[in-house]
């Protein structure tokens, strides 16, 4: 029997471990070892469920709920986010508990209606609205576009728990529910990866909401997100990290992303890395078509510079690099510099087009916008020139 796990007096985790998941949000975010869909149960004078799970895992959710309350009904269901990994089990839970009252933000109600085509008599809530379940009082806080328009979080005053939905999430799957079971650096790295791949475009909204939550002077013992571990020991660390993520806090680091068939663009990438790395800039180099994109996005989050390279394929850049640049545009990065580079045979336009895409992504071009180009195979002399240019750019990067 799948049993609930108590996390505090009257509060239980009733979620699911999805150990087999390898692609989160389709191909957007490849992951290594699965995730959790966290749902939480408050057993008070009224029984309240916070979030559900992916539809296929609903029987496990219901089994965990019944392990605590038996035949007692669920009175309230808090829909913090309508995305199917959180709301997919909602209709089956409503079938099991037809008298439950669902609560959601205004945008949440609209999206739930468009996804599930049935009015469950939702109660619309906004920031500052409360729900008393007996001993506990739930306070709702809207957080639109972190990362959908409907997202909200719920603070439970008696338990001092912030149920944060997607905010502060990570992909750590296991039965050790609390951060204290893991090293701090591991937890922060997983949170950084999640933020970079899911939340990065919404830094302004995150920064504003962090400030608003601070101004509410909430007494927080735990932050319980919808994916991954519950923050308990490392709350200050993850909060400070999120402030850095939201502001694109960066270090003297360059991320070099390229694709190359005949190694010519690869040789250029490695020459750039040599010139940067030998002159005080931390360097990460990735062949895009052979690298999990989530790693690149994570490293880009706190880098000051990005270099993007491609050879010429039928008068255009590689499809993988084109897709990466389009994704970069969608991320709304701030305060970064960069440059395009690449080899060519008879059409010397691709590196310039990469520069155009970098500018569209909000990235300031280095070296007065002049892409680094190479006709066919670079000689040792050509590579030395690239290294020298990279050394010059290293000084600019360090000065930012």
Is there a catalytic annotation at residue 118?
no
State the catalytic residue, choosing from 12, 44, 54, 81: 81
Is there a catalytic annotation at residue 382?
no
Contacts of 384 (CB under 8 A, 6+ apart): 271
Is there a catalytic annotation at residue 83?
yes
Q: How far apart are CA 289 and CA 306, in angstroms?
A: 17
Alpha helices per DSSP H over the chain:
58-69, 84-87, 90-96, 106-116, 184-194, 203-215, 235-246, 264-277, 293-301, 319-330, 350-360, 380-399
3-state secondary structure of 195: helix
Is there a catalytic annotation at residue 264?
no
State the catalytic residue, choosing from 194, 202, 242, 288: 194
Kindly report whether the peptide bond that precedes residue 147 is cis, defined as omega within 30 degrees of 0: yes
State the catalytic residue, choosing from 18, 54, 75, 83: 83
Long-range contacts of 352-361 (CB under 8 A, 24+ apart): 353/316, 353/317, 354/308, 354/309, 354/310, 354/317, 354/321, 354/325, 357/308, 357/325, 357/326, 357/328, 357/329, 358/306, 358/308, 358/325, 358/328, 360/329, 361/325, 361/328, 361/329, 361/331, 361/333
State the catalytic residue, choosing from 166, 193, 320, 387: 166
Is there a catalytic annotation at residue 81?
yes
CB 76 within 8 A of CB 133: yes
Is there a catalytic annotation at residue 25?
yes
CB 336 within 8 A of CB 250: yes
State the catalytic residue, choosing from 25, 32, 45, 326: 25
Is there a catalytic annotation at residue 227?
yes
Is there a catalytic annotation at residue 242?
no
Q: Which residues are catalytic?
A: 25, 81, 83, 85, 147, 166, 194, 227
């Amino acid at each position: 029997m799948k049993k609930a796990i108590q996390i505090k007096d009257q509060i239980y985790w009733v979620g699911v471990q999805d150990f087999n998941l390898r692609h989160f949000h389709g191909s957007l975010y490849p992951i290594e070892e699965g995730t959790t869909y966290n749902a939480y149960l408050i057993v008070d004078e009224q029984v309240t469920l916070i979030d559900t799970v992916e539809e296929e895992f609903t029987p496990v959710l219901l089994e965990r709920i019944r392990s605590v309350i038996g035949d007692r009904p669920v009175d309230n269901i808090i829909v913090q986010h309508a995305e199917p990994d959180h709301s997919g089990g909602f209709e089956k839970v409503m079938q099991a508990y037809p008298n439950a009252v669902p609560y959601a933000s205004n945008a949440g109600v609209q999206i739930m209606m468009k996804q599930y085509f049935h009015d469950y008599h939702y109660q619309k809530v906004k920031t500052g609205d409360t729900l008393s379940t007996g001993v506990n009082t739930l306070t709702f806080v809207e957080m639109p576009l972190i990362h959908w328009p409907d997202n909200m979080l719920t603070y439970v005053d008696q338990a001092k728990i912030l149920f944060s939905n997607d905010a502060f999430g990570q992909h750590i799957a296991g039965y050790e529910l609390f951060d204290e079971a893991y090293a701090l650096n591991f937890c922060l790295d997983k949170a950084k990866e999640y933020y970079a791949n899911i939340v990065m475009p919404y830094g302004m909204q995150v920064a504003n909401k962090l400030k608003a939550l601070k101004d509410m002077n909430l007494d927080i013992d735990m932050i319980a997100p919808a994916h991954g571990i519950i923050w308990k020991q490392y709350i200050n660390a993850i909060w400070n990290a999120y402030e850095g993520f939201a502001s694109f806090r960066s270090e003297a680091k360059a991320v070099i992303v390229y694709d190359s068939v005949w190694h010519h663009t690869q040789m250029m990438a490695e020459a750039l890395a040599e010139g940067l790395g030998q002159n005080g800039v931390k360097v990460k180099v990735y062949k895009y078509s052979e690298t999990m994109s989530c790693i690149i996005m994570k490293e880009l989050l706190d880098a000051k510079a990005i270099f993007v390279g491609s050879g010429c394929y039928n008068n255009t850049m590689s499809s993988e690099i084109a897709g990466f640049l389009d994704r970069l545009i969608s991320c709304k990065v701030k305060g970064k510099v960069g440059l395009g580079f690449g080899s060519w045979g008879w059409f010397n336009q691709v590196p310039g087009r990469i520069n155009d895409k970098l500018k569209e992504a909000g990235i300031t071009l280095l070296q007065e916008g002049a892409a680094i180009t190479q006709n066919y195979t670079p000689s040792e002399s050509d590579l030395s020139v690239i290294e020298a240019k990279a050394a010059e750019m290293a000084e600019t990067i360090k000065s930012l």
